[in-house]
Amino acid sequence: MATELRLIKSREELHSLIPTLIEALNKDFQLALGAAANPFLALEELGYRVDEKIRPAVERRLRFPPATAEKLDELALKIYRLARRTFPLEDADELHRVLFEELKLPRPAAAGVKLTAPLAYHAGRAKPVEDPLEALRGAHPIMEPLLEYRRLEATAPRFAPRELYLRLRRGETWHPISRLQARLHKADKR
């Protein structure tokens, strides 16, 4: 990994790098596999870092269809306006601070209710897990957009953590795509 990462400050700047990034991914199958699991870590490995100011919007564009990403962007702006500041919506501690310390919302009465952010991805489950914040619906105007944001956020998996990304890069984690590639490669040698 490069020691000094080039900062990407806009989506337009990131878009202009696509040909260079695709070329690098095409040269290294394991890097491409890692990029599919977490594109931000692959960018770091290639010497780039996405500015924290645009990273949430870029992540939404990478994880969701355009209409869903736009809706999430709109909801995030509503939430920030109602909170009177921006904050990482995926950070449970920060969300706790905003809701219960700054906005003084009542804590859910149910014992053992743990505030989680974000909700777990629920594809393939018969029913998504109920949001622990559902008990606060109607307690403050921030709750409607926040609950909708969290519901939509849970419809796509989050990017892989660094540990899994590194295991993919080292070829230590089995993945169906890697088996297919190996089979195709083997067939070509006949």
Question: pLDDT digit string (tens) for 70-122?
Answer: 999 999 999 999 999 999 898 889 999 999 999 999 887 654 556 665 566 65
- The verdict on residue 32 lying in a domain is yes
- The verdict on residue 1 lying in a domain is no
- The verdict on residue 168 lying in a domain is yes
Other beta carbons within 10 angstroms of residue 101's beta carbon come to: 9
Give the pLDDT confidence score for residue 168 in this predicted structure. 87
93 and 172 within one domain? no
Give dist(CA 167, CA 46) in Å, integer.
17
74 and 39 within one domain? no
125 and 74 within one domain? yes
- The verdict on residue 59 lying in a domain is no
Give the pLDDT confidence score for residue 182 in this predicted structure. 45
Residues spanned by the domain of 113: 65-153
- The verdict on residue 106 lying in a domain is yes
Q: Which residues of 119-130 are buried (b: 16+ CB within 10 A; e: fewer)?
A: beeeeeeeeeee
Give the pLDDT confidence score for residue 177 in this predicted structure. 53
82 and 106 within one domain? yes
33: exposed, middle or buried (C-beta count within 10 Å: 0-12, 13-18, 19+)?
buried
Confidence at 171, pLDDT banded by 50, 70, 90: confident
Residue 120 has phi, psi (to 5 degrees) of: -70, 145
Give the pLDDT confidence score for residue 175 in this predicted structure. 56
76 and 24 within one domain? no
Going by C-alpha positions, the residue among 28, 15, 128, 24 that lies closest to residue 62 is: 15
165 and 123 within one domain? no
Other beta carbons within 10 angstroms of residue 168's beta carbon come to: 23
Chain segment 11-67, per-residue pLDDT in tens: 999 999 999 999 999 999 889 989 999 999 999 999 999 999 999 999 999 999 999
Give me the helices (H) in the chain, please.
11-16, 18-27, 29-37, 39-45, 55-63, 66-83, 92-96, 143-153, 162-170, 176-188
149 and 123 within one domain? yes
75 and 44 within one domain? no
Name 11's Cβ contacts closer than 8 Å, sequence gap at least 6: 54, 57, 58, 61
Chain segment 119-159, per-residue pLDDT in tens: 666 555 545 667 889 989 999 999 999 999 999 998 888 89
Give the pLDDT mean for 1-20. Answer: 88
- The verdict on residue 105 lying in a domain is yes
Confidence at 186, pLDDT banded by 50, 70, 90: very low
- The verdict on residue 44 lying in a domain is yes
100 and 39 within one domain? no
69 and 147 within one domain? yes
Going by C-alpha positions, the residue among 172, 177, 163 that lies closest to residue 36 is: 177
Give the number of domains in the chain.
2
Confidence at 170, pLDDT banded by 50, 70, 90: confident
| CATH classification at residue 122 | 1.20.1060.10
DSSP three-state, residue 186: helix
Give the pLDDT confidence score for residue 121 in this predicted structure. 60
27 and 87 within one domain? no
Give me the helices (H) in 53-157, please.
55-63, 66-83, 92-96, 143-153
- The verdict on residue 176 lying in a domain is yes
26 and 83 within one domain? no
